[in-house]
Amino acid sequence: MRRSDSEAIEITLEQEPNQARQLVQQLLQAQDDDADLWAYLAECESELRNHNAALKAWAHYLTLDPHWPEAYTARCDLFIEQGDIDGALTELKLVKEIADDDARVMRAEALLAEAQGQMQQADELYEQAEQCDALWPAPPRVSRQALQAALQRVHRGGSVRVEEMPESALPHGFLRLQDVTADGDAIVYARNLERDFDQDATVMDLVEAYESEVTEE
C-alpha cells in the first residue's frame, strides 16, 4: 500500500469513518492481499461500532499476518465490548503463545479483568504493562467524589453518579462512558474515561473527554 493511501485513510478515519471505510474497500478491490488494508478496514468498522464486521476483518488480517499481537488484542477488546468473555479468553490464549510479554497483551488482560469486576488485578496488570513499555502508561485513578462533582456541573439533565464499570455489556457495550436513566440521571463509568490517559491527567481532562464523546454521540 502506498504511503499516500495510508495517510488519506488515517486522515479520513478521524473525521469521517464511513468515508474511510469506502476508501479502504475501493483499495481492497485491487489489493485484497494487503494485510494493512484489512487492518484499516477493521479499524473503520470498529469506529462505526460494527463489531462483528470488525472481528471478521481482523480474522482475515490474521490469515495474511498471524504474528501481529495487536490484531489479537483488538479482537479481544471487541469480544469484551460485546460481553463475550470466552471469545476474549480465546484471543488472549492465542496471542500469549506468540507475545506473552507484550504490553498490549497485558492491557488486554487488564481490560478483561475490569469487565469481570476484578479491579485490583486490572490495576496490577496496567502497572506491569507500563513497566514493560512506557508507551502504554497505566491509567490514572482520580478522586471519584471530585469527578462526580465536576461531571455534575456539566451534565445537562438530572444528577450524576460515578461507577467503576458497567455490570453488563448490555445495552451498549462494556466500554460505554455512560448510561442515562428515564429521569435524565447519568451513570458515568470512570474506568472507561480514564483508560486513554496517563498519570498526569486531571479531573478536568476526564470531564473534557466526557463532554467531547457524549456530544459526538
Per-residue pLDDT tens digits for 173-217: 999 999 999 888 999 999 999 999 999 999 999 999 999 888 655
Q: For Cα atoms 72, 73, 78, give the angle at the middle one, nearest 5 degrees.
A: 100
Confidence of residue 14 (pLDDT cuts 50, 70, 90): confident
- Mean pLDDT on 53-81: 97
Is pLDDT above 90 for 154?
Answer: no
User: In this structure, how many other beta carbons lie within 10 angstroms of the beta carbon of residue 188?
Assistant: 25
pLDDT of residue 183: 87
Residues 6 or more apart whose Cβ sits within 8 Å of residue 43: 13, 54
pLDDT of residue 115: 96
Confidence of residue 70 (pLDDT cuts 50, 70, 90): very high
φ, ψ of residue 126 to 5 degrees: the values are -60, -40
- Mean pLDDT on 31-41: 95
pLDDT of residue 4: 75
Is pLDDT above 70 for 144?
Answer: yes
pLDDT of residue 157: 72
Is pLDDT above 90 for 158?
Answer: no
- Mean pLDDT on 90-97: 97
Cell of 191: 474506568
Say which range, 12-16, 76-80, 161-165, has the weakest mean pLDDT.
Answer: 12-16
In order, the DSSP letters of 129-158 are HHHH-TTSPPPP---HHHHHHHHHHH-SSS
